[in-house]
Every structure is written in structure tokens, then in C-alpha cells.
Amino acid sequence: MTQTANAAQEEYWNDRAGRTWAEFHVQLDRQIEPLGAAALAALAPAPGETILDIGCGAGQTSVALALRVGARGAVVGADISAPLLAVARQRPLPTEAAAVQFHLLDAQTADLGRERFDAAFSRFGVMFFSDPAVAFANIRSALKPSGRLCFVCWRALSDNPWMQEPLAAVLAMLPPAMSPPAPADPLAPGPFAFADPARIRTLLLAAGFAEPRIAPYDARVGGGDLEGTVNLAQRVGPLGALLRDYPDHRDLITDTVRRVVSPYLTPQGVFMRAGVWIVSAAVN
């Protein structure tokens, strides 16, 4: 892959983070699948359409799109993570689904083709662009004049107890000197870069999309057993970073996370509330 403006994200998702997400893709897909399904419903893929899946990761959404557009359609899954694409390329594809091509590329800067796609979709893949204005303009140019965009992104951390509550509990029991510093720039690439709907609206309008619909959506996510949930929480996201920095505190952090998530255990697994934006926009 050539050097691009997203070099830091390429390094991140091709190193430990990408390998970890690939290792835990089954659990992670199960956890966020309901949120992606809500965005897929908003996109409403039609049979025969050609769709771009941005930040397709391990390919679950690409297969779901391929089933919706059927054998006469086509899906292109794009991601900057080679470990995740290796998983995606091994996914079985039902015979009634469209062909899926997976490409290692950066949707911010890559030549996606001009007016090639009926729609572009993303499940938590658009918040990591180093220059989202450039990225959305590039995506817009790849859409047909009748094209549309739909993505799901996280609202604020405070709207996501499944991430906030374990993190807050762990930080409260760590010595102050061990607490990670607050992010210097809340708009920097990361999970909550699009927490502000006004920012989303401004970016999409500037990129050439019509007035977007930005709808809040809440759901309970999870489904893993207690120990699996505790383990996953410590392998990805901010808690994973804490454990990498302070491995000597693993037992204390594990016990704290278990205490926080235990009240959410149901006969079907651990479920906690998540809050997202489902964003839809048509080409202007």
C-alpha cells in the first residue's frame, strides 16, 4: 500500500489492532451486528445495485449487502487492514448473493472509480479518516448521480454505557498517575470523531451531498457470556490500551470489569446499551 494521509491509521489497523480484531471478529461482529443491521435497513439496498462497503473489516456487512443486492448486483469491500481482509476473503458466500470483491485501499485517497456505485455504506468505518472532508468528497465522486450514502457511527461516549461504564470504573481504581491523558483533539480520527451531528452535517453538505438525515438509534449490544465479555473488553478499545501499558494490573482490571458487567448478564448473554447515529444522504 502506498503512503497516504491515513498512514497512522494504516499502521494501527495493520499492526496489533488489526490482528486483535481479526482474532475476535466473531465476538465483535455479534456485538455490533444489530447496529449495522439498522443502518442496512436505512440504506435499503435494492436487487441489482452495486454498493461500496467502506471499512468493511472482516466482511460481515459486505456479505449482508451481497445478499440484499442479489446475484445481479455487486459489492466492493474496502479496508486498510490486511489482517481483517484476510478474514473477509475466507467468508463463505451464499449462491444467491452478489459477487464480492475485497480491496486493500484507503477510501479517503484511492481511485474508487467515477460514478460507479449506486450506494456507499459503512459500519463504523468513516470515523477514522484523517481528512474527512477529502474522504467524503472522494466517496461522493464514486457515486452515481442518483447515488446515496448511509453509515452508522458512535454517538458520544456518555451515550454508550457498554464502553463508558467499564472504563470509568477501571480509571477510578487506578492511581492518578496511571490514568491516560484526555485526547488533545476530540475531532481527531477515532471512535467518537463524529459524535457531534452538526459536524457530520457540515462535512456531508460540503462534499456535495443533500441535506443528510441523522437519526439517533439505541440498542442493547453484546451476547457473549460473562467471561468472554470481560476478556473482549480488555482486548479492544481503551481498556485494551490500558492493559498493554500496565500489564501488572491485569488481575485488578479484570475483576473491576467483571464487577461492572455482571449486572447486565441475562440468560442470552451480557447486553449493555449502545448509542449511535444512523446517517443517510443522497447525492446533491
Rounded CA separation 34/222 (Å): 10
What lies within 8 Å, CB to CB, of 96 at 6+ separation is 67, 70, 71
Strands 74-79 and 50-54: parallel
Dihedral sign (CA 84, 87, 93, 99): positive
Rounded CA separation 283/207 (Å): 9
Model confidence over 206-215: pLDDT tens digits? Answer: 999 999 999 9
The residue-averaged pLDDT of 48-53 equals 98
Predicted TM-score (pTM) of this structure: 0.93
Model confidence over 143-177: pLDDT tens digits? Answer: 999 999 999 999 999 999 999 999 999 888 877 66
**pLDDT band, residue 113 (cuts 50/70/90):** very high
Is the pLDDT at 30 greater than 50, yes or no?
Answer: yes
| CA 220 to chain CA centroid, nearest Å | 16
Is the pLDDT at 240 greater than 50, yes or no?
Answer: yes
Q: Report residue 100 as a C-alpha cell.
A: 464480492
The residue-averaged pLDDT of 81-104 equals 96
| 7-157+186-221+273-282 topology per CATH | Rossmann fold (3.40.50)
Q: Which residues pair with 269 in a beta bridge?
A: 266
Closest by Cα among 205, 274, 189, 219 to 197? 205
